[in-house]
Amino acid sequence: MATTAVEAPVVGVVSEKVTDERVVRRRLGPGPRIPGTLWIGPVLLLVLWIVASATGVLDPRTLSEPWVVVETAQRLIADGRLPEALATSAYRAALGLVIGVGVGLVLALVSGLSRVGEALIDGPVQVKRAIPSLALMPLLILWLGIGEPMKVITIALGVLIPIYIHTHNGLRGIDSRYAELAETVSLRRGAFVRHVVLPGATPGFLLGLRFAVLNALLSLVVVEQVNATSGIGHMITLASSYGQTEIIVVGLVVYALLGLVADGIVRFIERKALAWRRTLESH
Amino acid sequence: MATHAGESLKETAVRVEGLHRSFSEAGGVLNGLDLTIEAGEFVALIGRSGSGKSTLLRALAGLDRAVAGSGVVEVPERVSVVFQDSRLLPWRRVLDNVILGLGGSDARTRGFEALSEVGLEGRDQAWPHHLSGGEQQRAALARSLVRDPQLLLADEPFGALDALTRIKMHKLLKKLYAAHNPAILLVTHDVDEAIALADRVIVLVDGVVGSDIRIDLGSKRSPGDPRFASLRAQLLAELGVVDSADSADSADSVEEEVA
C-alpha cells in the first residue's frame, strides 16, 4: 500500500533560494558537440594495440608491432613505393567517385523532376540496386578487360546508387508548398531548380555522398585485389604472398586514413552547406 | 506615393464572372460566383469554413489548374500572394527570399528598401528560422511588395500570429496599402480584422457572394465605435453566428439551416 502523505502547503514562507544551475542545452537532444570526438575511439584502439604488442599478448606473426609498422611506413615512404601506390589508389577512387556522383545526380534530377524520367530511370536503378556492384565485376572484366576502365567503372557503379537513392528521396521530400510559392513569384524552370529543387535536395544528396564515399573505398579495395599491378591493394596483395604483415598493416592504415579523411571532408561540406538547418546536431 | 493610383481608381483590377470550381462530383465549392474589385480597392473576404474563400483566392492566384471548373477570371499582370505561413525558403537568407525570382541589377536595392519598409532593416542576412513568426510574415509581405503588385492576395496572412503581433501587422498592412495602393483581397475568418482594414467586406456563402458590404468608417476605426459594433453584428449574423448571449437558440437554428 502506498501511503501518500499529503502535507499542508506552507503558505507565506519564502522558499529557500535555489540557484538555477542549468546546463544550457536541449533536455532530450544529444547535448553540445564535444571537440575531437571523432578520434576518441580510434586512439583507444591504437593504445590497445600498442599495449598488446608490448606485453607480447599479440604474436608479431599475427599482427606486426605498431613501431615495426611505423618503421615500414617510413621506409615505404622514403623509397617512394607508398606515395606512388597511394596516388594511384586515390586517383582511382576519386575518378570513380566523381563519375558516380555526376551520373547519380543527373539521373536523380531527371527522374525526380519528370514523370517520364522517373518511368525510364527509376526501375532500372532499383534493379541495379538489387545487384551488388561487385557482383558485376566478372561481366565488366569480360567487357572492359582488367585495366583501369573496369576498376573506375566498378567504383562509379557503387557510388551511383546511394547518390541516386538519397538525392531522389530528398527531391521527392521537398514541400510542395514551395513549388506553389515558386509559381506565384513566376520562377522559371531553371530558377526553380536552382533556388528550390537543388537546395531542398541537398540534405539527401549529402547523406548519399557519405554512403557513396564508403562504397567507393569498398569497391577500391576489391578491384585492387583483382589483377592489379599498382596501388595500395597491389602492395597489400604482394605483401600477403611474402607474409609481410607490417606492409599489410601499413596498407590497411592508409585505407583507414583515406576513409576517415574522405568522411571528414563530406561532414565538413555538410556543416557548411546546411548552415540553414536547425537540427539537433547544431544545438 | 499614393498619387499614381488617383486616375486609375475607376479601373477594374479583378473581374470574376460565373466562376465554378469543384473538387468532387458531389457539389461545387464555387457556384457561379461574380466579383469585381476596382484598382486600389481593399476587399476583405469572409465566410465559414468550406465556403470557398481559399478556393476563390487560389483561382485568382492561378494556383488551381488541377481543379475542375469554369468561368471568367481576369486579374492584373502583377499579382502577389501572401500565404498563412510565410513560406520563406529555409535555405535562403531573408534578402534572397524577398527578391526570389526578381530580375534586374537593382533587385537587391529594391529588396533592401522593401525590408526596411516592413521594419526588417538589418535582418537581410538572417536565416528565416531565426525570425519570429511576425517577422517571417513581414518578410513575406516584403517579398510581395517588392514586386510592385497591382493585386495583393492574402490568404489569412495573420491567422497564425498572436493577438498583439496581429495588431502590429494590421498597422503595417494599412501603412503599406496607403503607400502602394494595390488592390487587396484579404481572406480572413476574423470579422474585426475585416472591418478594421477593408473598404468592402464580402461574405461568401455556399460558393457565391452572400453579401457585399461597404465599410464607411473613415481611416480611424475603433472597435468601440457603435457603427463598428453594428457592422460586426451584421457580419456575424451573415456568418450564422449571433453576437449575443441570449440568442443561443436562434444561433442553433441558423446552424441547421446552413447545414
Q: Kindly report the CATH number assigned to the domain that includes residue B112.
A: 1.20.1580.10
Kindly tell me the sign of the dihedral angle through the C-alpha atoms of A203, A204, A206, A207. Answer: positive
Question: In terms of domains, do B137 and B210 share one?
Answer: no
Mean pLDDT of A24-29: 69
- CB-nearest to B91 from A180, A184, A199 is A199
Residues B43 and B161 in one domain: yes
B99 in the same domain as B51: no
Burial zone of A18 (CB within 10 Å; 0-12 exposed, 13-18 middle, 19+ buried): exposed
What pLDDT score was predicted for residue B5? 42
Place of cell 546536431: A281
The A-side interface with B (CB below 8 A) comprises: 177-178, 180-188, 191, 195-196, 199-200, 202, 275-278
Q: Of B148, B166, B189, which one is at a domain's C-terminal end?
A: B148
Same domain, yes or no: B30 and B95: no
Do B72 and B107 reside in the same domain of the chain? no
Q: Print the domain residue range for B140.
A: 87-148
Residues 6+ apart with CB under 8 A from B20: B28, B30, B31, B32, B33, B69, B70, B71
Please tell me whether residues B139 and B237 are part of one structural domain. no
| Residue B171's CATH number | 3.40.50.300
Edge-to-edge, what's the strand order for the sheet holding B68-74? B30-38, B12-22, B68-74
Interval A234-260: pLDDT, tens: 999 999 889 888 999 999 889 888 888
Helix axes A115-130, A81-113, angle to 10 degrees: 140
Task: Mark yes or no for CB contact B87/A181 under 8 Å.
Answer: yes
Distance from CA of A199 to the nearest CA of B (A): 7
Give the residue among A237, A257, A249 at the shortest CA–CA distance from A76.
A249
Buried b (16+ CB within 10 A) or exposed e, A91-100: ebbebbbebb
Residue B99 gets which letter from DSSP?
A: T
**Is the C-alpha dihedral spanning B25, B30, B33, B35 positive or negative?**
negative
Are B173 and B241 members of one domain? Answer: yes
Place of cell 546546411: A274
Residue-level pLDDT at A12: 52
Mean pLDDT confidence for A122-146: 89
B15 or A26: whose pLDDT is higher?
B15
Give Cβ neighbours of residue A144 (< 8 Å, ≥ 6 apart).
A150, A153
| Domain count for chain B | 2
One domain for residues B135 and B209 = no
pTM: 0.76
User: Which residue among B125, B148, B171 closes a domain?
Assistant: B148
Contact B127/A276, CB-based, under 8 Å? yes
ipTM: 0.82
Query: Are both B14 and B46 inside the same structural domain?
Result: yes
B102 and B55 part of one domain: no
Q: Can you give the pLDDT of all 259 residues of chain B as single tens digits?
A: 344 444 444 588 999 998 998 887 777 788 889 999 999 999 999 988 888 888 999 999 988 877 888 888 999 999 999 999 999 999 999 999 999 988 888 999 999 999 999 999 999 999 999 999 999 999 999 999 999 999 999 999 998 899 899 999 999 999 999 999 999 999 998 899 999 999 999 999 888 898 898 988 877 788 888 888 888 888 898 888 865 544 444 444 444 444 3
Which of B148, B183, B200 is the last residue in one of the domains? B148
Give the three cell numbers for residue B244.
449575443
Domains belonging to chain A, first-starting first, are 60-275 (1.10.3720.10)
Sheet strand arrangement including B200-205: B79-82, B151-155, B183-187, B42-47, B200-205, B208-214
Q: What confidence score (pLDDT) does residue B216 get?
A: 84
Question: Quick one: B179 and B209 in the same domain?
Answer: yes
Q: How far from B52 is each of A75, B141, B157, B163, B236, CA to CA, in Å?
A: 80, 24, 17, 25, 17
Domain check: are B127 and B197 in the same one? Answer: no
DSSP B9: G
Chain B residues within 8 A of A276 when measuring between CB atoms: 90-92, 127-129
CB A178 within 8 A of CB A200: yes
Q: Which residues contact B195 (CB under 8 A, 6 or more apart)?
A: B44, B201, B215, B217, B221, B228, B231, B232, B235
